[in-house]
């Protein structure tokens, strides 16, 4: 049983980011083909706003748990 040790799990972060971009691209192209540029732009702006909100939330959480600067 010792011969089958578990290794480290692979890091799929890069693959996740790439597939998010691929999926976002085809969704925007689909919207553009069906409803035109206005719908694709509004969805793009909504996703951008959501990502900015996530970044702000992450920064606030990092600042909350970081050490204060030394004097």
User: What pTM did the predictor assign?
Assistant: 0.64
pLDDT of residue 26: 94
> What are the pLDDT digits (tens) for 15-58?
999 999 999 999 999 999 999 999 989 999 999 999 999 999 99
Residue 2's pLDDT band, with cuts at 50, 70 and 90, is low
Q: Which residues fall within 8 angstroms of residue 24, CB to CB, at 6 or more apart?
A: 47
Tell me the Cα Rg of the chain: 20
Q: Are 40 and 31 in contact (CB under 8 A)?
A: yes
The answer to whether residue 65 scores a pLDDT higher than 90 is: no
């Amino acid at each position: 049983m010792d011969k089958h040790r578990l290794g480290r799990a692979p890091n799929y972060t890069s693959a996740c980011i790439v597939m998010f971009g691929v999926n976002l691209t085809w969704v925007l192209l689909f919207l553009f083909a069906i409803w035109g540029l206005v719908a694709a732009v509004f969805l793009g702006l909504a996703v951008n706003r959501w990502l900015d909100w996530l970044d702000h939330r992450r920064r606030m959480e990092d600042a909350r748990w970081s050490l204060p600067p030394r004097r």
